[in-house]
């Protein structure tokens, strides 16, 4: 199955991707995680990308498309994948459609997680992430078992550089301007599944799985 997770920053895409990847047995491909790993590793791409991500801006399409089209042909993604954070512009969506078409592949669905602005701000301000394995926590509703420590790999949790309030405001502005049109792109092509992302994590996962099953004629 080939899926896209859409939704504003803080909607719960990474969190849902973590559960869906196990449930559907497909890898999660997160452009945000890939860029943060590259920045932590100090690669040229990582350093360049950080100039955009730290300001809450989008990384240029060409850089992102290079990253994604290098990752997708890897063997673990042969039977499907779950994209988290890509595409974020109509240009990326168009290039991705061509990439799929050229390979005789198609997308199964684009899942849009809908949440209110107040929820986004609340979730992002309490978010902590593991820089090692990318597990995501909310310090009030999904805290780690041991203070500030990843449950999975015991690495120290961090707050993302772009989760500061002033950067979040810019990310939301950029989302409305550049990424909301991507929702219409997939709606117009009959691929959009809209999901209420306000509910607890497990209920959102179940709603996505049920919507996919309906969309796929009950094959899941």
Give residues in contact with ligand AMP (CB under 6 A). 9, 31-32, 35, 52-53, 56-59, 64, 85-88, 92, 162, 171
Nearer to ligand AMP, 142 or 220 (CB): 142
Question: Could you say whether residue 136 binds ligand ADP (CB under 6 A)?
Answer: yes
Q: Name which of ligand ADP, ligand AMP, none residue 10 binds, using a CB cut-off of 5 to 8 Å depending on partner kind.
A: ligand ADP
Active-site hit among 13, 36, 50, 128: 13
Question: Could you say whether residue 10 binds ligand ADP (CB under 6 A)?
Answer: yes
Active-site hit among 2, 88, 173, 189: 88
The pair of three-digit structure tokens given for residue 105, joined into one six-digit string = 């592949």
Cβ–Cβ < 8 Å for 91, 97 = no
Active-site hit among 160, 169, 189, 199: 160
Taking alpha carbons only, the member of 189, 201, 174 closest to residue 4 is 189
Beta carbon of residue 84, minimum distance to ligand ADP (angstroms, whole number): 6
Cβ–Cβ < 8 Å for 170, 52 = no
Query: How far is Cα of residue 189 from the mean position of the Cα atoms in its chain?
Result: 21
Question: Could you say whether residue 14 binds ligand ADP (CB under 6 A)?
Answer: yes
Residue 160 bears catalytic tag: yes
Beta carbon of residue 214, minimum distance to ligand AMP (angstroms, whole number): 27
What percent of the chain is helix, strand and coil (3-state, nearest 5)? 50, 15, 35
Nearer to ligand AMP, 15 or 31 (CB): 31
Buried b (16+ CB within 10 A) or exposed e, 71-85: bbeeeebeeebbbbb
Spatial neighbors of 112 by CB under 8 A, at least 6 apart, are 6, 7, 183, 186, 192, 193, 194, 195
Query: Residues with catalytic annotation?
Result: 13, 88, 127, 160, 171
């Amino acid at each position: 199955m080939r899926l896209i997770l859409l939704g504003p920053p803080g909607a719960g895409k990474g969190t849902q991707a973590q559960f869906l990847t196990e449930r559907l047995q497909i890898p999660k491909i997160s452009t945000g995680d890939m860029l943060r790993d590259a920045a932590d590793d100090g690669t040229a791409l990582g350093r360049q990308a950080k100039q955009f991500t730290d300001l809450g801006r989008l990384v240029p399409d060409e850089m992102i498309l290079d990253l994604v089209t290098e990752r997708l042909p890897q063997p673990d993604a042969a039977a499907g994948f779950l994209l988290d954070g890509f595409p974020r512009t109509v240009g990326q969506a168009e290039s991705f459609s061509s990439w799929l078409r050229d390979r005789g592949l198609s997308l199964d669905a684009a899942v849009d997680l809908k949440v209110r602005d107040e929820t986004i701000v609340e979730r992002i301000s309490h978010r902590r992430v593991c820089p090692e394995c990318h597990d995501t926590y909310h310090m009030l509703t999904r805290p780690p078992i041991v203070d500030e420590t990843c449950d999975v790999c015991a690495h120290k949790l961090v707050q993302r550089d772009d989760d500061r309030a002033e950067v979040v405001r810019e990310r939301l502005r950029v989302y409305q301007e550049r990424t909301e049109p991507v929702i219409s792109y997939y709606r117009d092509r009959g691929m959009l599944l809209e999901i209420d992302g306000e509910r607890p994590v497990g209920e959102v996962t179940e709603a996505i799985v049920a919507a996919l099953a309906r969309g796929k004629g009950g094959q899941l």
